[in-house]
Amino acid sequence: MKPASSADSLSAISNYRFTNSSFLQEALTHKSYVNERRPSGLNHNERFEFLGDAVLSLVVSDYLASRYPELSEGALSQFKARLVSEAPLANAARRLDLGARLRLGRGEDLSKGREKASILADALEAVIAAVYLDGGLEASRNFTINVLDEELRYIDELQTRPDGGDYKTRFQEWCQKHHDVLPRYAITRETGPDHQKLFEVEVYLNDEACGIGQGYSKKEAEQQAAQRALVRVERGDDFPLR
């Protein structure tokens, strides 16, 4: 698969236009692509990923602390974890269609590397670094807040309505009305110590994944997965969706 290479196509989605497109090119170059072309003088995106992780952490921390001055450090840390972990970053990368834009080695491409959550999340961090190097901190802040809009709106809802809204019931009603089936939820990952375990849950419709959620309880993760599926329903997207 030949990746989409134009910085213009990304700017149309993200509302950021690169001055130096070489930053974006490096951010979208996976190590496997470089390894198959040695010696080529090409750089892969791991250094950008390192920098982007730091920029992302700063931007999200500043956003949360400014928006929710009444919250404790512990609550802010939990919200931050929901925003900067692999699943939400991969979801945001999918909305930007970063998978299609990646330069991957042939082996990684054949093994569906463009769909792997870890590669997508790392690529988004690298792109955040590219924006930072190209346009500075304020540009990277605006870019990050823009691409994480869906995740930030979910945090807002959690804060204004502690139950986060009954998204499971709403999605179940939609599934029954439009497909005459019930959605199915499955835990796909558990991370962290037992006293603060973070659950990742996928919701399925007719065995097709249509939303991923995270939370510090299974119920919370299921609610977020249903909420993300509903966002896509409201946008008129087709299933299956991630």
What is the mean pLDDT, run by run of 10 residues, along the chain of 242 residues? 53 79 93 83 92 98 95 88 87 90 90 88 96 97 94 80 71 90 93 80 91 86 88 72 42
Containing structural domain, residue 226: 161-235
- Annotated binding-site members for Mg(2+): 49, 122, 125
In a domain, 171, yes or no: yes
Burial of 167 (0-12, 13-18, 19+ CB in 10 A): buried
Residue 140 and residue 101 share a domain: yes
Binding residues, as ranges, are 49, 122, 125
pLDDT value at position 13? 64
- With respect to residue 242, please indicate whether it lies within any of the assigned structural domains: no
Please give the pLDDT value at position 7.
Answer: 62
Just list the catalytic residues. 53, 125
Nearest to 185 by CA among 205, 167, 169: 205
Residue 161's pLDDT is 62
CA atoms within 13 A on the CB side of 191: 12
CATH number for position 216: 3.30.160.20
Q: Is the pTM of this model over 0.85?
A: no
12 shares its domain with 114: yes
> How many domains are there within the chain?
2
Write down the pLDDT at residue 239. Answer: 63
